[in-house]
Amino acid sequence: MKYMLLINAAMDDETGPAGNGCTVEDWMAYDKAVKEAGIFVTGHSLADLVTATTVRVGPGGERTVTTDGPFAETREVLGGYYVIDVPDLDVALDWAARCPGSWGGGSVVVRPVAEF
Amino acid sequence: MDERAAETAAPTGPAGERAAGPATELPAESAVEAVFREERGRLLAALARRFGDLDLAEEVTSEAIEAALVHWPVQGVPPKPGAWLMTTARRKAVDRLRRDTAYAARLAILGAEAERADPVPSPGPDADLPDERLQLFFTCAHPALPAEDRVALTLRCLAGLTTPEVARAFLVPAETMAKRIVRAKKKIREARIPFRVPGPDELPERLPGVLQVVYSVFTEGYAASSGPDLQRRDLAEEAVRLARILRRLLPAEREVAGLLGLMLLVHARRDARIGPGGELVLLDDQDRGRWDRTMIEEGRGLVVLALTGGPPGPYGVQAAIAALHDEAVNVATTDWPQIVALYDVLLTLTPSPVVALNRAAAVAMRDGPEAGLTLLDELAGEPRLRDHHPYPMARADLLSRLGRFAEAATAYREALGLAGTEAERAHLRRKLDAAESAAPGGAPRG
């Protein structure tokens, strides 16, 4: 069963994500572990929030484009994701706990991928 | 009384004796249902585990029990009733899956994966039906479910209460409870919360969640075990029953013994806790002759088990405190130094202002009201005690004992504004009246 791990970084202020004490090595080790376990489906790290753009289309088809942020009030921001294929939620939660994104004030939301 | 006996009686006892007789000798259907209650949980657990789907398991469990109610009085109880029920339920599940192939395909994938992750243990050669309820306990109390859903599911699936019964127990409309249970089952199914017992490395982390569910069933029953609502005493008894099942499934876990011990030692006082007019009687004023000695003895034995062979856990320590109360002839001869020492341990295990409040009350008994009041006043700013009526109530009691009746009356009034049940409010009103009439210059009552 596939689960998406949405990695949320805690925001310090409008300038960017707070450091949660994780090093590049922590992330590389996690990425390697996910791939070696044979559960990796896909995953990406996202560029800074200031590069994000939001599109909305109204009922008349009119397009509104907004630039997100800086959000002083935002506490957590999606910084990346993994999709993993594991037998059940407990295994997915274990992988979420191992993910450096869940440490030091960050969080990882685990969402099952809907199957049709 | 003995739950073990009750359980073994379900397949071979009363129903077995009646098997030869005509159907009319069967007890009323509800009584038969009660006999099946325990069996129901076992069957449900085994089927949920096998098919990975709680809805399907519930449906075919009910159908199998209905089939037993029809066939056994006529054909006699089969030699292995549990296996009969299981076979019948499985056959019904297979029928259902044949009718709904899309559903079957999905479950087949789930089943194969679950099997790979955690192979099903084969039952022992003598076992009529393998007891897989422990898996179900852990699923129902899974931390990924909201706390209120855990309690509801456990009562529904393991205590065998119907959804309207669960709803009544929690004083919510049946429809609300039905929605809650549907939502929880949906999450189990769609997020695939597994039916498995956590491994030894995870057990210390996950077991407290299961115990918490059982204990909150108990405290929910206890919070209002007075007045017209006798349904709630049933709830305390359900909690005891669930803890007994857990105790049998996890005999080596000392905290399970501690939890069962704690509940028995508190529940032993149930009759003395309610006065002739249905009013609440607090520990100090209870007629200790009305305490259930058999239950206390059993509880004390469990305390010994809970506190031997390793560091104590919070339920074991609370059970030991309850045992000291139950062993004392009256409040004055209660072993307060030992109770304070146990609260000290409990504070290190589960630091909380509520524990600190109870400890302060025990210190007041050991060292006098002044010492207790000093400790209580140190807790004044605690947010968790702000709406907790036992806090102003404890202060009021100590202020009364110190003869500071006007302050006591103020604190009783504060408690009165926060108290949850009518019985508690009635108790506080009596205390308030006493404090007001004792206060110098207090308004004469009349």
Residue B406 C-alpha, separation from nearest chain A C-alpha, in angstroms: 48
Q: Following CA atoms B285, B289, B290, B296 in sequence, which dihedral angle do they give, to the nearest 10 degrees? A: 100
Which residues from chain A sit within 8 angstroms of residue B194, using beta carbons? 87-90
Single-letter residue type at B210: V
The answer to whether residue A15 scores a pLDDT higher than 90 is no
Q: Which of B192, B196, B205 to mutate to test the interface with A (most CBs of A within 10 A)?
A: B192
Question: What count of residues does chain B have?
Answer: 446
The answer to whether residue B32 scores a pLDDT higher than 50 is yes
The Cα B263–Cα B219 span in angstroms is 9
* pLDDT value for B103: 72
Judged by CB atoms closer than 8 Å, whether chains meet at B194 and A89 is answered as yes
Q: Chain A within 8 Å of B190 (Cβ-Cβ)?
A: yes
Please tell me which residue of chain A has the smallest CA distance to B118. Answer: A87
Which residues from chain B sit within 8 angstroms of residue A93, using beta carbons? 144
The class of domain B387-446 in CATH terms is: mainly alpha
Single-letter residue type at A13: D
Please tell me which residue of chain A has the smallest CA distance to B102. Answer: A116
* pLDDT value for B319: 98
* pLDDT value for A109: 96
Q: Chain B within 8 Å of A18 (Cβ-Cβ)?
A: no
Judged by CB atoms closer than 8 Å, whether chains meet at A115 and B196 is answered as no
Please tell me which residue of chain A has the smallest CA distance to B194. Answer: A88
* pLDDT value for B42: 87
ipTM above 0.85, yes or no: no
The answer to whether residue B350 scores a pLDDT higher than 50 is yes
CATH of the domain at A36: 3.30.70.1060
* pLDDT value for B373: 97
Q: Which of B401, B325, B403, B411 is nearest to B368 (CA)?
A: B401
Looking at chain B, which residues constitute the CATH 1.20.58 domain(s)? Answer: 387-446
Judged by CB atoms closer than 8 Å, whether chains meet at B196 and A93 is answered as no
Q: Chain A within 8 Å of B111 (Cβ-Cβ)?
A: no
Q: How confident is the model at residue B116 (pLDDT cuts 50, 70, 90)?
A: very low
The answer to whether residue B14 scores a pLDDT higher than 90 is no
Q: Chain B within 8 Å of A90 (Cβ-Cβ)?
A: yes
* pLDDT value for B275: 82
The per-residue b/e assignment along A51-82, b for 16 or more CB within 10 angstroms, e otherwise, is eeeeeeeeeeeeeeeeeebeeeeeebbebbbb
The answer to whether residue B419 scores a pLDDT higher than 90 is no
Name the B residues in 236-255 with CB < 8 Å from any A CB.
none
Mean per-residue pLDDT, B58-70: 91
Q: Chain B within 8 Å of A115 (Cβ-Cβ)?
A: yes
Residue A70: asked if its preceding bond is cis (omega within 30°), the reply is yes
Exposed/middle/buried for A35, CB within 10 Å: 0-12, 13-18, 19+? exposed
Percent of chain B at pLDDT exceeding 70: 83
Instruction: Name the residue among A87, A112, A115 with its Cβ closest to that of B191.
Output: A112
Of A8-12, A89-93, B30-34, B85-89, the range with the highest mean pLDDT is A89-93
Judged by CB atoms closer than 8 Å, whether chains meet at A112 and B113 is answered as no
Please tell me which residue of chain B has the smallest CA distance to A94. Answer: B202
Q: How confident is the model at residue B279 (pLDDT cuts 50, 70, 90)?
A: confident
Exposed/middle/buried for B205, CB within 10 Å: 0-12, 13-18, 19+? exposed
User: What mean pLDDT, rounded, does chain B reach?
Assistant: 83
Instruction: Name the residue among A87, A110, A112 with its Cβ closest to that of B117.
Output: A87
Q: How confident is the model at residue B395 (pLDDT cuts 50, 70, 90)?
A: very high
Q: How confident is the model at residue B8 (pLDDT cuts 50, 70, 90)?
A: very low
Least confident of B32-36, B91-95, B191-195: B32-36
Mean per-residue pLDDT, B407-417: 94
The answer to whether residue B273 scores a pLDDT higher than 60 is yes
The residue behind tokens 């100590």 is B398
How many domains does one find in chain A?
A: 1
Least confident of A92-106, B94-108, B111-125: B111-125
Q: How confident is the model at residue B107 (pLDDT cuts 50, 70, 90)?
A: low
The answer to whether residue B44 scores a pLDDT higher than 80 is yes
The answer to whether residue B3 scores a pLDDT higher than 70 is no
Q: How confident is the model at residue B246 (pLDDT cuts 50, 70, 90)?
A: very high
Read off the pLDDT of residues B185-229 as tens digits, 9 standing for 90 and up: 999 988 999 988 888 888 888 999 999 999 988 988 776 544 455
Range of the domain at A6: 2-112
Q: Chain B within 8 Å of A113 (Cβ-Cβ)?
A: no
Which residues from chain B sit within 8 angstroms of residue A112, using beta carbons? 190-192
CB pairs under 8 A between A and B: 35
Read off the pLDDT of residues A27-67 as tens digits, 9 standing for 90 and up: 999 999 999 999 999 999 998 877 888 888 999 989 888 87
Judged by CB atoms closer than 8 Å, whether chains meet at A1 and B116 is answered as no
Which residues from chain B sit within 8 angstroms of residue A114, using beta carbons? 190
Percent of chain B at pLDDT exceeding 90: 49
Q: How confident is the model at residue B83 (pLDDT cuts 50, 70, 90)?
A: confident
* pLDDT value for B33: 60
Q: How confident is the model at residue B176 (pLDDT cuts 50, 70, 90)?
A: very high
